[in-house]
Copies of this chain bind each other. A is one copy, B any other.
Amino acid sequence: MKKITKWDEAAALCDSLSEDQDTLTREIVTRLADKWTLWVMSVLAEAGEPLRFSRVLEQVEGVSQKSLTKTLRQLERDGLVTRKMFAEVPPRVEYAITPIGVEMLEHVEPLWSWVAKSVGRFQQARIVFDTAKDSREDSL
């Protein structure tokens, strides 16, 4: 009685991975959902050219220097962006998205779109849940 055949395929794929690889898979997916990673990647992708650190800092509204540095380091480590340092003063560092970074964005997009499209249903569900809870509390 398994209906989620596609998900089963994913599970089978996971089974074929070592524990290290499984951990890494989770780590990558988890990072995708942190506060800045996707935003930074999409800024670099939409720019279509390498961007200096300070340009990214401007375009990713609200990110702190510290968090941006950290995010970019992680992305660089995973091969999702490149970092090019110029021996100049003041320093110049350019970041660019890699092909695999683009590929990842392309795979995130359908999920993100679906969630955005479905957001009304989630709002509705929350209203139902919260009002039910309120009435439960009222009756105490």
Contact = CB atoms under 8 A, between A and B. Distances in A.
Interface of A: 1-4, 6-11, 13-14, 17, 20-21, 24-25, 28-30, 32-34, 42, 45-46, 48-49, 76-79, 100, 102-126, 128-130
A112 B77 contact: no
Nearest to A42: B7
Contacts of A128: 79
A114 B108 CA distance: 10
A28 B115 contact: yes
24 contacts: A2-B48, A3-B45, A3-B102, A4-B42, A4-B102, A4-B105, A6-B106, A6-B109, A9-B113, A10-B112, A10-B116, A13-B113, A21-B119, A21-B123, A24-B119, A25-B112, A28-B122, A29-B112, A33-B33, A77-B126, A77-B130, A79-B122, A107-B115, A108-B111
